[in-house]
Amino acid sequence: MASSLKNMSVGLKKSPSNGCEKGLTSEEEQTKINEVRRLIGQLPDKLSVYCSDACIARYLRARNWNVKKTTKMLKESLKWRLEYKPEEIRWEDIAQEAETGKIYRSTSIDKHGRTVLVMRPSRQNTKSTKGQIKYLVYCMENAILNLPPDQEQMVVKPFLEPKTYNKVKFVYADDLNTKKIVEDLFDMDQLESAFGGNDNMGSPSHQVEPEVVSSGEKVLASDGSKHAI
């Protein structure tokens, strides 16, 4: 499965669980952002980066601009970061999980310049759920760090709000009906053949150990080439 990471725009929509989502002016949006920030309160420096206006706005969109629900969701995310410490995961912690290349950041991007995270469940090589989750978190954090500004959003379809769920499309390499979606998003010459593209060399059999894993440095991508993150 390859997923391009994209922003989701605000529109006038109807959601079974939330009713009608109103189109807000920029001033109204900013007021809600400020209210969430007030309710969140003072944060440690290492968490404040996850509470920029753009970040809070994404959480508000995910909860149809409901301040109470957004604050609860954001607090839970921040609590998870404090407890799980995803930024402290190092290569030696997940090297065994990465041996078969079951999850990796593609060396190519989509037509909008967005990161592509590839998942190949058939290459599963371990039984530890804890280790598998840690590796997934590592890969997602790496992918998010590699995104252009203001695109730090990844979603898992079963947990989405109905309005967001309807915006997510699953596509299949052998389905002509969904091929157009893929062609609109990707340069087919750079897309792996497993996903309907023409690149027969883009799928690594294993993940190469990065030089470093910290933000702003460089890592070795799955093909051994260096990419800034």
All domains of the chain in start order, with CATH: 2-85 (1.10.8), 88-228 (no CATH)
What backbone phi and psi angles, to 5 degrees, belong to 40? -65, -40
Beta bridge partners of 73: none
At 160, the pLDDT band (50, 70, 90 cuts) reads: low
Beta bridge partners of 102: none
Position 63 pLDDT exceeds 90:
yes
At 5, the pLDDT band (50, 70, 90 cuts) reads: very low
Q: How far is CA 153 from CA 14, 140, 205, in A?
A: 22, 10, 27
At 162, the pLDDT band (50, 70, 90 cuts) reads: low
Three-state DSSP state, 93 = helix
Rounded to whole angstroms, how far apart are CA atoms 88 and 94? 12
Contact (CB, 8 A) for 102 and 120:
yes
For residue range 66-95, what is the model confidence (pLDDT) as tens digits? 999 999 999 999 999 999 999 999 999 999
DSSP state of 108: S
Position 200 pLDDT exceeds 70:
yes
Contacts of 92 (CB under 8 A, 6+ apart): none
What backbone phi and psi angles, to 5 degrees, belong to 220? -85, 125
Rounded to whole angstroms, how far apart are CA atoms 33 and 61? 11
